[in-house]
């Protein structure tokens, strides 16, 4: 027997309309390239989103069209989020930090119709625009005047587009299973793959994340997403804040600037912030040096890569800020687990508490987890057995966009995350390893295989291995280990220069070690596990200099 309840669709439009009616007066504050501090209200954001939806219709965008964005976190990007998804279009956020070749691949694979870009990314697109056949034109996220001198074909200024658009838009009734957003995985071993989110998935994910033991954001909160809007919908914070009516504070291009973040947190009285570990290192270093305090900040959510204990301790002891560790991935919209204290936390011994705190937490309702061995047999939740972490749930990817390889999961619906984990009897998950040897730098992935392939193309190199070595600021940075061909010679500087123009600047290894041989497994494969073990005491020389170099390249 079927229930007799209304079949209203779970759509992002319902979130927008709810926020418009209930939280219209709540503020959204942004740093943008053209304004040091822009402020307006939810009702302004949605009024402008309606104009944008009308403008897109005039530009010929039809249901299902992908509308790409290359932009930092600010109010204009937020308007594009809601206008596209709620009009039945697909908001395709693109990571501008990727290597240009990958960006081009992604835009072509997604067949984006229009691209909305911050002025700073115009030169990046100018170089590839002739190869972007699907793209009808470009909208530059700023005031009038940028388009004309952009060098991009069919370029429009965002503010002019909005000013000329009709003020009202008739939002369509959408099927909750229709696509609303698209984000590509980092593509470490393969080309990047598109994860196509549905309205239903993102609404349920938002519900799940908002729970008290999840992000637990409420109407009185002031939320600062330092996690980029170009990466998995900024962990759904833009939607969650709209549901509850939290004030939103968007850092724009100042995401990696500790001093700027501290100023924003203090001035706007931010209570909850979220981001990858690296951004917090910058903020904490600034607070240490300046002696500033952040009395409004209560909680920080940290995920994307493992959160070091030192960050948690410093936030808590020096600033009274509670850190929640979280884990997820692009294919999971992205949140899978969230760390909040268990019911018996207060009575646990100190080391047990830390074991729990450093884990990535428990699955958010809606996500089922299990760990399996190499034969696919389920392993016990004993905190000791480790195996491949499998997930299933309504916000987990079922199939990649366009790839055409069929489902991404087993017959009974389990998706292999590629992570290796233990789960304790209370459901706390610890990520023990990455199945692949990807290097996580500042919360972003670097493919060791790409770097190795580039290195071995150098005439003097016989064999190469790249591993992620610990870095005080970036978590990990690539370390290149090479064996030279007999009789050949090459210096550290020559080898590093070899990467110029072949990979993104921030992928270039930070150091080179010349070895007589590299360790191999019994089947003749490179054993990175052993290499990491041998080099576990390695530290980058002059890590500070590397940080400066990366920061000057806008990698922050």
Which are the catalytic amino acids? 185, 331, 440, 445
Q: Which of residues 428-467 bind ligand AMP (CB under 6 A)?
A: 431, 434, 445
Q: Which of residues 354-373 bind ligand AMP (CB under 6 A)?
A: 360
Using rule CB under 6 A, residue 419 touches ligand AMP: yes
Between CA 467 and CA 530 the distance in angstroms is: 11
- Closer CB to ligand AMP, residue 439 or residue 479? 439
- Closer CB to ligand AMP, residue 14 or residue 305? 305
Q: What is the 3-state secondary structure (H, E, C) of 205-219?
A: HHHHHHCCCCCCCCC
Of residues 303, 366, 478, 509, which one binds ligand AMP by CB under 6 A?
303
User: Would you say 368 and 413 are in contact if contact means Cβ atoms under 8 Å apart?
Assistant: no
Between CA 179 and CA 162 the distance in angstroms is: 24
Query: Residues binding ligand AMP: what is the number (CB under 6 A)?
Result: 19
Using rule CB under 6 A, residue 417 touches ligand AMP: yes
- Closest contact distance (angstroms) between CB of 76 and ligand AMP is 24
- Closest contact distance (angstroms) between CB of 311 and ligand AMP is 12
Q: Residue 523 has which token pair?
A: 């089947």
- Closest contact distance (angstroms) between CB of 431 and ligand AMP is 4
Stretch that binds ligand AMP, among 140-148, 207-215, 293-301, 417-425 (CB under 6 A): 417-425
Query: How remote is the C-alpha of 399 from its chain's centroid?
Result: 20
Of residues 306, 372, 379, 484, which one binds ligand AMP by CB under 6 A?
306
Between CA 74 and CA 83 the distance in angstroms is: 14
User: Would you say 531 and 520 are in contact if contact means Cβ atoms under 8 Å apart?
Assistant: no
Using rule CB under 6 A, residue 14 touches ligand AMP: no
DSSP readout, 299-324?
A: EEEE-SSPPPHHHHHHHHHHH--EEE
Stretch that binds ligand AMP, among 63-71, 152-160, 196-204, 415-423 (CB under 6 A): 415-423
User: Would you say 286 and 258 are in contact if contact means Cβ atoms under 8 Å apart?
Assistant: yes
- Closest contact distance (angstroms) between CB of 51 and ligand AMP is 32
Q: Residue 214 has which token pair?
A: 């999840």
Three-state DSSP at 46 gives helix
Q: What mask of x and - would describe binding to ligand AMP in positions 327 to 356, judged by CB under 6 A?
A: x-xx---x----------------------
Q: Which letter does DSSP use for residue 236 in this model?
A: G
Between CA 398 and CA 401 the distance in angstroms is: 10
- Closest contact distance (angstroms) between CB of 225 and ligand AMP is 15
- Closer CB to ligand AMP, residue 310 or residue 457? 310
Nearest to 80 by CA among 125, 105, 117: 117
Stretch that binds ligand AMP, among 343-351, 394-402, 414-422, 523-531 (CB under 6 A): 414-422
Using rule CB under 6 A, residue 29 touches ligand AMP: no
- Closer CB to ligand AMP, residue 31 or residue 504? 504
User: Would you say 429 and 386 are in contact if contact means Cβ atoms under 8 Å apart?
Assistant: no
Name residues whose C-beta falls within 8 Å of residue 356's C-beta, 6 or more positions apart in sequence. Answer: 339, 341, 342, 345, 348, 426, 428
User: Would you say 427 and 363 are in contact if contact means Cβ atoms under 8 Å apart?
Assistant: yes
- Closer CB to ligand AMP, residue 256 or residue 303? 303
Q: Residue 109 has which token pair?
A: 């694979």
- Residues linked to residue 479 through DSSP beta bridges, in sequence order: 467, 511
Of residues 32, 150, 160, 186, which one binds ligand AMP by CB under 6 A?
186
Using rule CB under 6 A, residue 185 touches ligand AMP: yes
Of residues 304, 363, 366, 387, which one binds ligand AMP by CB under 6 A?
304
Between CA 88 and CA 181 the distance in angstroms is: 10
- Closest contact distance (angstroms) between CB of 315 and ligand AMP is 15
- Closest contact distance (angstroms) between CB of 25 and ligand AMP is 34
- Exposure of 266 in the CB half-sphere (CA atoms within 13 A): 12
Residue in the structure block whose two tokens are 């991009």: 152
- Closest contact distance (angstroms) between CB of 133 and ligand AMP is 28
> In the complex, which residues of this chain contact ligand AMP (CB under 6 A)?
185-186, 303-306, 325-327, 329-330, 334, 360, 417-419, 431, 434, 445
């Amino acid at each position: 027997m079927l229930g007799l309840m209304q079949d209203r669709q779970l759509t992002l439009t319902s979130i927008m309309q709810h926020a418009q009616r209930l939280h219209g007066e709540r503020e959204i504050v942004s740093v943008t390239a053209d304004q040091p501090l822009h402020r307006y209200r939810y009702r302004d954001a949605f009024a402008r989103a309606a104009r944008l939806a009308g403008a897109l219709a005039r530009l010929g965008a039809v249901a299902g069209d992908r509308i790409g964005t290359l932009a930092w976190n600010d109010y204009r990007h937020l308007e594009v989020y809601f206008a596209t998804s709620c009009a039945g279009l697909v908001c395709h956020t693109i990571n501008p930090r990727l290597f240009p070749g990958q960006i081009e691949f992604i835009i072509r694979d997604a067949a984006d119709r229009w691209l909305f870009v911050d002025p700073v990314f115009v030169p990046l697109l100018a170089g590839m625009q002739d190869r972007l056949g699907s793209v009808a034109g470009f909208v530059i996220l700023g005031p009038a005047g940028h388009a004309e001198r952009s060098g991009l074909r069919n370029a429009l200024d965002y503010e002019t587009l909005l000013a000329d658009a009709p003020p009202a838009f008739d939002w369509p009734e959408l099927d909750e299973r229709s696509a609303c957003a698209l984000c590509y995985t980092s593509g470490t071993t393969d080309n990047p793959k598109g994860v196509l989110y549905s309205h239903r998935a993102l609404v349920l994910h938002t519900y799940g994340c908002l729970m008290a033991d999840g992000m637990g954001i409420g109407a009185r909160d002031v939320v600062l997403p330092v996690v980029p809007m170009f990466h998995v919908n900024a962990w759904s914070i833009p939607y969650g804040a709209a549901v509850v009516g939290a004030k939103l504070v968007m850092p724009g291009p100042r995401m990696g600037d500790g001093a700027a973040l501290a100023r924003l947190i203090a001035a706007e009285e931010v209570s909850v912030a979220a981001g990858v570990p690296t951004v917090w290192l910058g903020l904490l270093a600034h607070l240490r040096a300046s002696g500033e305090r952040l009395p409004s900040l209560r909680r920080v959510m940290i995920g994307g890569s493992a959160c070091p204990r030192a960050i948690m301790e410093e936030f808590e002891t020096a600033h009274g800020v509670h850190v929640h560790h979280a884990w997820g991935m692009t294919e999971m919209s992205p949140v899978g687990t969230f760390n909040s204290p268990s019911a018996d936390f207060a009575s646990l011994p100190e080391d047990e508490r830390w074991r729990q705190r450093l884990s990535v937490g428990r699955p958010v309702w809606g996500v089922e987890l299990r760990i399996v061995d190499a034969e696919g047999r389920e392993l016990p939740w004993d905190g000791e057995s480790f195996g491949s972490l499998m997930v299933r749930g309504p916000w987990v990817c079922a199939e990649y966009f366009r790839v055409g390889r069929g489902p991404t999961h087993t017959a009974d619906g389990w998706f292999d995350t590629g992570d290796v984990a233990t789960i304790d009897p209370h459901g706390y998950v610890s990520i023990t390893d990455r199945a692949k040897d990807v290097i996580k730098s500042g919360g972003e992935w670097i493919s060791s295989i790409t770097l190795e392939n580039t290195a071995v193309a150098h005439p003097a190199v016989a064999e190469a291995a790249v591993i992620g070595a610990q870095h005080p600021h970036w978590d990990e940075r690539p370390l290149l280990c090479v064996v030279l061909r007999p009789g050949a010679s090459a210096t550290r500087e020559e080898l590093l220069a070899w990467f110029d123009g072949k990979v993104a600047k921030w992928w270039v290894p930070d150091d080179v070690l010349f070895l007589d041989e590299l360790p191999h497994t019994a089947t003749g494969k490179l054993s990175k596990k052993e290499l990491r073990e041998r080099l576990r005491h390695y530290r980058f020389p002059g890590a500070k200099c590397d940080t400066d170099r990366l920061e000057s390249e806008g990698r922050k």
